[in-house]
Every structure is written in structure tokens, then in C-alpha cells.
């Protein structure tokens, strides 16, 4: 079986995505790239029923390389991200606050410095039908110089060099969107200047520690 470890990791993160309320029902999809192959979640399968064997493997053109279930309808978006960036993983979600802001705004403003994890204010890609080449193209343009984007009237997509990093960016993007929503209920949010976001982004590059092995 190709990419077994990557398939198992996708199952683990799908269950996390469900628990973290980054999706609803069978919506949302995740993928991991290894060389010329991509492990990607199947279309329309309940996350509780997923197994490594149910995960699909495709090539960079979106073609299936193993028999099995059909891959996510968002294959065009995933493969486009891999072709346009150095991504090792892509996470596409339908979280409530990201989606709410995608309906009402053109950009998620710098209301908190953690938006630096996404590369700065997050753009909203113009609407296109799910699974379409147009949506893939719009997503790539919105993610230019960023690690994620909102998709108009749809959801959000993030990427990273690992699945853990791509997923963490999805969590923070939803949190920043929720923060902005909550702040607007109180008054007009104060926004951070671009130079502060740049400074934080540089600091975050060296942030974090590794727990020593026992």
C-alpha cells in the first residue's frame, strides 16, 4: 500500500478536525504530498468510518494511482496548491467563523498578531463552484504570499510543510476570525500595523521548543 503512514496521519487529523469543529458532516478535506504522490481524503465518507485503506492516492495531475474510493471533489484545489507552492500538506475546512467572514468581508484584518502565522491579513477568494478549476485558480491567487485563504461563501484552506503545521494554521485562522467577530459585537476593533505583523512573523520562525527524548 502506498503512503500508509501518510494515510494513517490523515485519518488522525480528520478526527481532530471533526472534534475541533472545523467542519460539519463529511465536508472538508485534507491531503499530504510525498514526492509525486498525494494522499487525500475520499469524497463523502463519514470521518468516523475512515481507515488508512479508505484514503486515496493520486498523482500531481489528480489521477488515481490505486484502486479504491473516489478522492475528494476538491482535488483541483489541492493539486493546484502543490504545484504553486512548496506545500507538504493542505487542509480545507468549513469552520463557522471563517465561513461567516467569507460571506461578509474581502480580507481578514490583522486584529491579532497570530495572523502572522498565515503570512498576514488573509484574503477572501472570489466565489466559484466547489471542486471547479475556477475555485482552484481563485484560491491560489488569494494565497499569494500567504499560507491560507478564505473562500467566498464556502470555507477556508491552509497549507504547510507538514500536516501538523497546515492544521495548526487552520485552527489559528478560525480563532482569529472568531476574535474579529466577537470584537465587532463590542465596537470597532483596533488593527495592528503591517510592520508589527512582519516583526511577529520573523519572531515566530524561531518560536517553540522540542521536548527531549527520554
Catalytic annotation, residues: 74
Which cell numbers hold the place of 189? 476593533
The end-to-end CA distance of the chain, in Å, is 32
Which residues neighbour 118 within 8 Å (Cβ) at sequence distance 6 or greater? 146, 147, 148, 158, 169, 172, 173, 176
Largest CA distance in the chain: 54
Beta strands in 104-196 (DSSP E): 107-108, 122-125, 148-151, 155-160
Backbone angles phi, psi at 27, to 5 degrees: -75, 165
Amino acid at each position: 500500500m502506498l503512503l500508509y503512514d501518510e494515510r494513517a496521519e490523515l485519518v488522525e487529523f480528520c478526527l481532530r478536525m471533526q472534534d475541533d469543529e472545523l467542519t460539519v458532516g463529511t465536508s472538508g478535506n485534507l491531503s499530504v504530498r510525498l514526492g509525486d504522490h498525494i494522499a487525500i481524503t475520499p469524497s463523502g465518507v463519514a470521518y468516523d468510518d475512515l481507515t488508512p485503506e479508505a484514503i486515496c492516492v493520486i498523482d500531481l495531475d489528480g489521477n488515481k494511482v490505486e484502486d479504491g474510493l473516489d478522492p475528494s471533489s476538491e482535488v483541483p484545489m489541492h493539486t493546484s496548491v502543490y504545484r504553486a507552492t512548496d506545500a507538504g500538506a493542505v487542509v480545507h475546512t468549513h469552520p463557522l467563523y471563517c465561513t461567516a467572514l467569507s460571506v461578509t468581508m474581502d480580507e481578514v484584518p490583522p486584529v491579532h498578531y497570530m495572523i502572522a502565522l498565515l503570512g498576514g491579513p488573509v484574503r477572501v477568494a472570489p466565489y466559484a463552484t466547489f471542486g471547479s478549476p475556477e475555485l482552484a485558480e481563485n484560491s491560489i491567487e488569494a494565497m499569494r504570499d500567504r499560507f491560507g485563504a478564505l473562500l467566498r461563501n464556502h470555507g477556508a484552506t491552509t497549507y504547510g510543510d507538514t500536516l501538523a503545521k497546515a492544521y495548526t494554521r487552520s485552527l489559528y485562522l478560525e480563532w482569529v476570525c472568531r476574535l474579529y467577530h466577537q470584537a465587532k459585537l463590542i465596537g470597532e476593533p483596533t488593527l495592528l500595523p503591517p510592520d508589527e505583523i512582519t516583526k511577529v512573523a520573523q519572531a515566530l520562525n524561531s518560536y517553540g521548543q522540542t521536548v527531549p527524548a527520554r
